[in-house]
Structure 1
Amino acid sequence: MKFKRLWLALFLTGQLTLGLAQGSPLADETPQSDISDAPITVPAMPSASSHDPLPIDDVRLFIEILEQLKENYVDPISDKDLMTNAIKGMLSGLDPHSTFYTQDEYESAKESTSGEFAGLGIEVTADRGFIKVISPIDGSPAEKAGLKPGDNIIQIDDIAVQTIDTDKAIKMLRGDVGTTVTIKVLRDQSNTPLTFEIIRDVIKTKSVQYETLNESIAYVRLSQFQEGSTKEVESAIKEMQTHAIAKKGAIKGMILDLRNNPGGLLDEAVSLSDLFIQNGLIVYTKGRAEHAQESFSATKGDLLAGAPIIVLINSGSASASEIVAGALQDQKRALVVGEKSFGKGSVQTVIDLADGQGLKYTSARYYTPNGTSIQTTGIIPDVMVAPVNVELQTQLLSIREQDIKGHLENENGNAPAEIHYIDNSKHAETDYYLYEALNILQALMVTKENQLI
């Protein structure tokens, strides 16, 4: 068998980008600091003598339960269904990110990194019997319909979500392009459901949006780390630089917006960080297996030639987003602004199985250059932006890794750093996070220019 991919995306068992995607796999990687597309081979399985003896009594118990269900369950059930359910249960009992994929599920899971698939276009998580919306994909039917991060999906068509298992709920949300699904959600702490009729469509996930602000600031919004995202960001920055030079100006700073970015491909997170870091560590991983010990370092070159950078994050920024924010923060290359991130600091390994099936399991934790594990604690911004409406913010449900049942603990017991807020209640802007980021970046730009005089 081969490693199919390593995953860092914010997707749980039963969690998917709704359409035909479940999870967001990390690209194949080699042990070197520069990432290639060559898969690495799974080490040979150790001999049986190196393991604890097979728990014969437990195996007997498993077989006894299997036979009871085959003979006496209320409806006929095949051996394959029983075994699939048993395997899924074995993995889901470990942590929220480990799972077994049937052939159809595995094909769906691999589609999300191609940048085009069919569905609603929402990142969701299954937790405590509900389906929670992490974030809608930019420009998706879900976003256009008005779904928001933190929404709890309680009903799909005429079926209450809590009366069916997660896999069935997910299948009900999927469907052919042009078909309609009606869902009811609970938002914030309201007891009154909101109803949405959403027409399924082809989701074309353009991961990068950009524009020049105030004639000298490059604003880049990255919605997810998919194949080619780094090249898109690099192209966008170079285009803005060219336009600025044509107007006898220059790009003097950048805002990298990673809010509600649930993660994606590891090699894209590493290569994106490498665009702005001259040298030093970007991220490293630690696990029990030898192949889980990896480190990735920057190569020479800085696309912005040292111009100041602000990274915007929030509670929906997860995994690969946290790698980028943590690397730029620890290497003193950027200021991180916003709110504490999601806090998913684990790495999933995905391997091919027989008959087109797949296995995803947590194989390592990842660490920022300073050796910090952000598992459950998240990335703490250098500048914490307080909400404009404090009362409203306290009512909003911000979902983070630490809130998910069965999450891995931070083995270092890291407590979050003390948080200092900027009082921006007087700035009733459409996007107050961006407003504050602009203020901070402009101050940094002035400071840098004064140093050069």
Structure 2
Amino acid sequence: MPNQSESNGRSWGLLRQVAQRVLPSFVLIFSCITAPLVAEPASEKTYLGIVKSVDLFGEVYREVATGYVDKIDTSELMYAGIDGMLRSLDPYTVFLDEEDSGELDEMTSGQYVGIGVSIASLDDAFFVTSVVDGYAAAKAGIRVGDTILAINNKDVRKMALADVKAMIKGVAGTSLTFRLARQGSAAPVTATLVREEVRVNTVSYAGVMKGIGYIEMKSFSARSADELRAAFRGLQRDAQEQRVPLKGIILDLRNNPGGLLNAAVDVTSLFVGKGSEVVSIRGRSAESSKSYLTETPPLDAAIPLALLINGESASAAEIVSGAIQDLDRGVIIGERSFGKGLVQSVIRISYDNALKLTTAKYYTPSGRLIQKEIKPAHESRKVLPKAPEGNAQQIFYTKKGRKVYGSGGITPDIPVSEQAMFPFLAELRKKGALFLFSNGYCASNALPPLLPLDRQKLMASFDDFLRKKKFVYTSDSERHLTELKESLKKSQPAEGLPELNTLGALQQEILKLKEQEIGKESSRVAQALEVEILRHYNERLARRAELDHDAQVNKAIEVLSDSRKYASVLHP
């Protein structure tokens, strides 16, 4: 059984590697933070406790691996044990296998090897959903809406999405051949491409709207500050060309999951004075506690600034927004941020695996803890000490004395809720109806349309498309009513059930209400169709069309355009 032996060897090696990494760390920590006379017994006790625990874990693992009634995968058993151990801590302390470790490198470096496309599975086919300008796919003429039929002569139509994505990525300099179906083209389209390093820009869009510069950042990588600086300079040039003064900057951090700590500090340093504290981290030892200050003069320390955040703004995005708020450098608009304020250190371990370990917590300049309260997935064992009372009622003060409250996450100065997506529109997006309809539209129109389109004509075409696709939308009320009817039928014979007649009448009323709601939302559906159609031609045109109807963006433009209103937020 060579595979089983190899698996056992890898698992035991991994266990030894964890022990070798953990034990010296505990000894070092206790040596550094404890007085000499106390350090030796404390470190010895801790050391012996870890040795005992590792030995116990190894013994249980060995007995299960060799004696369990069914044959098991010993590597997966080891990983399950590690995952179970880490789940008792927090959601962010995780074990990364070789594939996960590679994805982490991709995220933090801001680049990957590929051809510059995004794909999705819709309507039982794989579609190209975006093409990055300047890279292999764009150079080869691949378009948004193309359907992937085969890669390197291998039919992919029955494959899993993850497997197709894996085929596209590879070693830089190697080639691959696509066979594509394109609406409006009778014969398949063939394209041969060479894989290359694709740079993933963290600044995804920048533009001037009504004299206000808008910059959207999707993550924080090593190049984020340089990208933001370049975007800012570009906005200044655009404003000059439009012959309007640049009255303010909107930095959109909504749906930004964060990234590198140093990138957050560098981004903040573009707008605040040199030597300003951006964030502090406090860990278990003195060595893991540190304050991060800006080290360079700002790009612009005076231009009015508004940051947009929502419930998906996390980590580095919260560091930036928390610092800007505490230093009274700009106004925060939107919804409370996610509340992810834990520092992870990536420890490389054997067999190209890694351990992402929480080692400290983030605090804003005023002293607020960014991290919201979290409960471990398993509470049967009290691994962590009981947390102190939360700081929800604690009052903190900004540099100019404004009150801010600690409760995890960043609370905006001006709350503005995002417009909730109507369930019918959400279902259209989920099933790819907007995307597929736009494919057909673009096949018949070579140039992007001028907005607004004739919405009455557009919606008539879309309704016809939905009928042909046999698209069915079932509301939550309809689903609940169906479940109730089925429950009644099971409880007793249908004969003599007057309740069913009542439910039948109710069903008709629900259908009427659904049609009324769909009618009321037709303008939003038409707007979404316009954006999706534009996206097939040009991502920038589509994004600009979206922003024109964005309530939070429009609020930021309103505040930045009115100097008195802006000042009243920062000087209450």
CA contact (8 A) 2:208 2:235 kept: no
Equivalent residue, structure 2, for 1:380: 411
Equivalent residue, structure 1, for 2:252: 257
Equivalent residue, structure 1, for 2:105: 110
Matched, 1:340 2:336: yes
- Structure 1 residues 214 and 357, CA, compared in 2 at 3 Å: closer, same or farther? closer
- Whole-Å Cα distance in 2 between the matches of residues 76 and 82 of structure 1? 8
- Whole-Å Cα distance in 2 between the matches of residues 233 and 369 of structure 1? 23
- Whole-Å Cα distance in 2 between the matches of residues 81 and 293 of structure 1? 36
- Structure 1 residues 389 and 61, CA, compared in 2 at 3 Å: closer, same or farther? closer
- Whole-Å Cα distance in 1 between the matches of residues 308 and 27 of structure 2? 39
- Whole-Å Cα distance in 1 between the matches of residues 107 and 97 of structure 2? 16
Coordinate RMSD, CA, aligned:
4.0
Q: Give the partner amino acid of 1:442.
A: S
CA contact (8 A) 1:212 1:219 kept: yes
- Structure 1 residues 322 and 139, CA, compared in 2 at 3 Å: closer, same or farther? farther
CA contact (8 A) 2:110 2:223 kept: no
1:324 to 320, 324, 344: 320
Equivalent residue, structure 1, for 2:167: 176
Alpha-carbon offset, residue 244 of structure 1: 3.3
- Whole-Å Cα distance in 2 between the matches of residues 76 and 446 of structure 1? 66
Alpha-carbon offset, residue 321 of structure 1: 0.4
1:303 to 271, 285, 299: 299
Matches within 5 A, 1:51-450: 51=46, 53-54=48-49, 56=52, 59-60=55-56, 63-78=59-74, 80-117=75-112, 175-177=166-168, 205-214=200-209, 216-245=211-240, 249-278=244-273, 279-299=275-295, 301-376=297-372, 377-388=408-419, 430-444=549-563
- Structure 1 residues 138 and 439, CA, compared in 2 at 3 Å: closer, same or farther? farther
**Residue deviations 1:223-262 (CA, integer Å, cap 9, x gap):** 1112201101001112222443466654221000011111
Structure 1 unmatched runs, 5+:
1-40, 123-135, 146-156, 160-168, 181-200, 397-427, 449-453
Number of aligned residue pairs: give it.
Answer: 321
Segments of 4+ moved more than 4 angstroms:
41-48, 118-122, 136-141, 169-174, 201-204, 245-249, 387-392, 445-448
Structure with the largest fraction of strand: 1
**Residue deviations 1:388-414 (CA, integer Å, cap 9, x gap):** 45987xx99xxxxxxxxxxxxxxxxxx
Q: Answer with 46-55 or 309-318: which moved more.
A: 46-55
- Whole-Å Cα distance in 2 between the matches of residues 293 and 170 of structure 1? 43
CA contact (8 A) 2:61 2:78 kept: no
CA contact (8 A) 1:252 1:445 kept: no
- Whole-Å Cα distance in 2 between the matches of residues 97 and 242 of structure 1? 42
Alpha-carbon offset, residue 209 of structure 1: 3.4
Structure 2 unmatched runs, 5+:
1-24, 32-42, 120-128, 138-143, 146-156, 169-175, 179-194, 373-407, 428-523, 525-547, 568-572
Alpha-carbon offset, residue 89 of structure 1: 2.5
Q: Give the partner amino acid of 1:433.
A: Q
CA contact (8 A) 2:264 2:317 kept: yes
Q: Answer with 294-303 or 53-62: which moved more.
A: 53-62
**Residue deviations 1:319-344 (CA, integer Å, cap 9, x gap):** 11010000001100010001111110
Structure with the largest fraction of helix: 2
CA contact (8 A) 2:284 2:359 kept: yes
CA contact (8 A) 1:343 1:375 kept: yes
CA contact (8 A) 2:117 2:132 kept: no
CA contact (8 A) 1:343 1:379 kept: yes
**Residue deviations 1:272-325 (CA, integer Å, cap 9, x gap):** 001001142100011102332011112453322401100001111111101000
- Structure 1 residues 114 and 447, CA, compared in 2 at 3 Å: closer, same or farther? closer
Q: Give the partner amino acid of 1:356.
A: D
TM-score if structure 2 supplies the norm length?
0.49
TM-score if structure 1 supplies the norm length?
0.60
Q: Give the partner amino acid of 2:309.
A: I
Q: Which secondary structure state, in structure 2, belongs to the residue aligned with residue 337 of structure 1?
A: strand
- Whole-Å Cα distance in 2 between the matches of residues 51 and 373 of structure 1? 29
The alignment-based identity, stated in percent, is 31
- Whole-Å Cα distance in 1 between the matches of residues 53 and 309 of structure 2? 50
- Structure 1 residues 252 and 73, CA, compared in 2 at 3 Å: closer, same or farther? farther
Q: Give the partner amino acid of 2:66.
A: K
Structure scoring higher RCO (CA < 8 A, sep ≥ 6) equals: 1
CA contact (8 A) 1:253 1:308 kept: yes
- Structure 1 residues 447 and 229, CA, compared in 2 at 3 Å: closer, same or farther? closer
CA contact (8 A) 1:338 1:385 kept: yes
- Structure 1 residues 372 and 138, CA, compared in 2 at 3 Å: closer, same or farther? farther
CA contact (8 A) 1:308 1:445 kept: no
- Structure 1 residues 217 and 53, CA, compared in 2 at 3 Å: closer, same or farther? same
CA contact (8 A) 2:203 2:216 kept: yes
CA contact (8 A) 2:217 2:253 kept: yes
- Whole-Å Cα distance in 1 between the matches of residues 332 and 306 of structure 2? 6
Q: Which secondary structure state, in structure 2, belongs to the residue aligned with residue 68 of structure 1?
A: helix
- Structure 1 residues 256 and 69, CA, compared in 2 at 3 Å: closer, same or farther? same
- Whole-Å Cα distance in 2 between the matches of residues 43 and 332 of structure 1? 43
Q: Give the partner amino acid of 1:385.
A: V
Alpha-carbon offset, residue 108 of structure 1: 3.0
Alpha-carbon offset, residue 138 of structure 1: 10
Q: Answer with 95-104 or 253-262: which moved more.
A: 95-104
